[in-house]
Structure 1
Amino acid sequence: MDVIPDHPWVDSANGAAVRIAMTVAARGAGLEGRLRRVTDERSGADGEVEVALDERQGLIHADLSLGANVAAAGPLRANTGVSSPGVKLHGGGFIVTREEAAALLPLPLGEGGGEGSPAKVPLIREYRNGRDLMAKSRDVQVIDAFGLNAEQLRERFPAVFQWLLERVKPERDAKSDSKDGAGYAALWWQFGKPRQEMRRQLVGLPCYIATVETAKHRTFQFLDASVLPDNMLIAIASNDAAWLGVLSSQIHVEWALAAGGRLGVGNDPRYNKSRCFETFPFPSDDTGLTPALTERIRQLAEQLDAHRKARQAAFETVTLTGLYNVLDKLRRGEPLNAKDKALHEQGLVSVLQSLHDELDAAVLQAYGWNDLGAVPWSDEAARAAWTEALLERLVALNAKRAAEEAAGTVRWLRPEFQDPARRAAAATPAPQPEQAGIAGVETEAEAEALADVTADNAETLAETSATAPAATLTQPWPSTLPEQVRAVAQLLSASPAPLPLPAIEASFKGKGPWKKGLPRILETLEALGRAQRVGGGWRG
């Protein structure tokens, strides 16, 4: 086998701004082979790209890598249900300036969420995307009518209704010829992907952790709960700075670089929450994490977050990308040019470096891996060896955590929110939109518009999950869609273990091809945050 996992597109003038992987294999040759990596690339005058390659031999993993098999790491239950991409607007008309927002809602910004919604939020909210976080913020807001049907929006906020009617609806109607497009057009005043699961995760938190999905530098920071994240941000539902510290450490950054992909002609790392976050084994008491060490990590993370934000507030020219560009040069011992020196002074980058160094040391101690020592930034070969040793240990810890979970021990990150037993006892309903169901709309929009899976019904489901025994007998398949959704949700909530599709089918009896619609109902419940895929099964 001969593999080049990452190579520039050689004719970017006439092709897409992408990078490619190349694999050559022969039948029966096995997975041992030669892996070549690009170490240097230079663009020529005619669009060609000259590359330099290094070469290694060994067992090639599924992610086209050698060494630690990060691709084999599976998602951990302890990490599930607390991360999500932000909302996807499907219409630029939702975005407004502060002046436009003030004109639309001259009094207090109003409340969305619908009557009886468990968590009311302003109708016009702060809105941030990846560029806002890594470069200079646009300082824009967004109209978020989640939880309001069209009649409620028109009656309570007529100016906002007209704004969206004129600026969003025409765009949605023009793209309504596809199945998804029809769903978005039917619910034109709502975001294309409102991210109900994310909203449920963030209820009650004063702030949350965010990272940009695709960025040159992997950074994490707190965002206030008033900020609605864009689709290109990953929201991690915790206000605990200890989480922020572990995620901001080089220990997690190296894992994210190895587990995630890369995107675009810039070859920027991509943070896939399923691969980078849900597989990551956090330190715990079994690795050496103590309450005192947790507090130390928490304090360092708070200082790191405050330092960066203070420097950005003091100087408009200071951006996170700029700070970390200079930090990279300091770490590698490279000379700073005049622009770098100015940014170093404005951003106090040496302070940033010291905070990261102390944070890395504290997190390594939390894992019991002090023997690895500090990251050897200025020595590429030594750093590669350091990273390889780190990844091998993290892969082993992931396997240990998976075995623990299979035996019934789950080290929940937010036990009061994630643990089904605690959640059922609390019986806290999730925020749900109050919109009438629209027949024939088979998209995420349909899932979030199903009339009978609303806040009132969610409370019933929560009570059912807390009291109902595991289903052992078959029951009649309901005749209406809302009843079908409720029945499947109750079955999953009552089961102590994930149920594969055949077991769910065996729990009901009915006439006609009713089983064909069952996968769609499970996907709908997943979109509503009422079901989750676990291995080959489903759980509530």
Structure 2
Amino acid sequence: CMLLDLPGPEPATDDPARDGYTFERRVDIGHPDGSVTRGYIDLYRRGHFVLEAKRVSEAPETSRWDKAMLRAANQADTYIRALPAEDGRPPFLLTCDVGKTLEVYAEFTRSGGTYVPFPDPRSHRIHLDDLRKPAIRDRLIAIWTEPDRLDPARHAARVTRELSVTLARLARALEADGYAVERVAHFIKRCLFTMFAEDVDLLPRGRFTALLETMKTTPQHFAQAIASLWQTMDSGGYSPILNEQLLRFNGNLFRDLNPIPLDRDQIQLLIDAARHDWSQVEPAIFGTLLEQALDPVERHARGAHYTPRAYVERLVMPTVIDPLREQWRVVQAAAAALEAQGKADQAIAEIRAFHRDLCELRILDPACGSGNFLYVTLEHMKRLEGEVLGTLADLGAGQNLLEMQGNTVDPHQFLGIEINPRAAAIAEMVLWIGYLQWHFRTHGHINPPQPVLRAFDNIECRDAVLAYDRWEYRTDEAGRPVMRWDGKTFKKSPTTGEDIPDESAQVPVEVYIKPRKAEWPEADYVIGNPPFIGAASMRRALGDGYVDALRGSWNELSESSDFVMYWWSHAADLLRAGRIRRFGLITTNSLRQTFNRRVIERHMNEKPPLSLVFAIPDHPWVDAGQGAAVRIAMTVAEAGEQPGVLGQILSERKSGEDAREI
């Protein structure tokens, strides 16, 4: 504290509620049998951190030392879970080998999730000599004084929103020039990935921005120049336009090129976007904002809104990550026991088997939108993989060999179904940007294997709940198509100023031939945020033809069930049949109402049953498509009769434009 010019802790009192910053803060730890034991936190600052200190006799960076520090982290986590609700959970967990090192873990959502190495597994360990570095001292000062300043999602959200505004201006300008919406979308996607590639050194740093600056003086050559660059990025090799050797990107992104000619002002918009640091973009929200920027209806009517990352994590953690981390703790304990018995080879085999399983898991979002749930799950699985590979390296198993052989968590494991073709294409790119960010965060400036992008076809563009052979237009007696409101275009009421359907936006009524339930690809976990359409609104939003086909194909659901319950029931069928391990879905908080509740009760009461292992019945949410704050429910289900956790929000307040701090 003296080195960093920070106030020191106060002495502990007899009343823990008064001990907001103290040594030896008392906590009462409850156990499953009802007993309570007393513990003492070595150093505690309410709302900031819990610190557990040890004097480890083993040499740092050895296997025994790692185990001792891991035990310290587990002990600190136990103390955090024992803190009273009014204290909340601190964003940081610290472990200290006194006089040697400090290890930093973070969990910014404060929702009971897993604390993970901060800022990443390569740099979360601070040695005594590191305190000479101003950046390290600034990080520690922030942990003590302003911990949320270190939340990368907050900085990335601001940068990402600024980028989306610039891209929306360019999209608007190109559409005004008469270019089709889809062509504009593909063009801007390629531009932005090129900017990202430049900022993470997949392209020579600064060269794409320099090319744009050059093209501003000769805009008539822009389309030819950008086509030359993208053709070389697709195939790899020498780029005449940059006079550099380029990596091979492949992956469908740069195929079928048809670049749009730009004038000076439009090139300047690209330059403005390129000057941002694209390596810091937040994929969890970027996809949503990009989708809105490229959709003329949403861009005009709704503005830029997104679902905060913390909200997404609140479902991702109990659905996928917490079960995986529990399995990892079991494997760690087994491996430690084997190593203690002198069976290091068997310990390595245990950990490698877990890593192999981790790299084979499949996560499905059957309403993936622009991929934010899939990306957040990918990032947390990459964090877990980093810990697994670090343990293997400590045991001498050769971390790099595994990844060189392609045995790593990557985008092919993250499956999506999305009916909007623009969103589906963005989801695939979001996964790759997130994966590459994590690669460079973990491996420094080592390039990934080529091709950099791969066409896994893991995002399917189709309906997730209704399949059919084909559709036709319903016609009237004169053979003309019957028309209806398109379900998404609104206008302002002249009397109330509220949004009301714009009946001039008409689309034909469709008839579906041989409708049936849609199938989902094989997966281990299902997670997502299906559309918020209530039963009473389905015909207006989706059309009579679609709703008749859907309800006729799902006889077991009442016509009074909300649209989201078709996803919920399908996931429940898969779970009870043993085809998935868990599922977690967002629904509106009308889940508790009669007809929706009956869907859940049927699956819980039939044999074999399922159980809700985690639920939050009322939680704030941002419906990005509508630009509106709504209330939702979260449910996580597992097969069999299992205990569950019911989450209740104790307090919430507005935090930023879209989020509420909970």
Length-normalised TM-score, structure 1: 0.24
Name which one, 1 or 2, has greater alpha-carbon Rg: 2
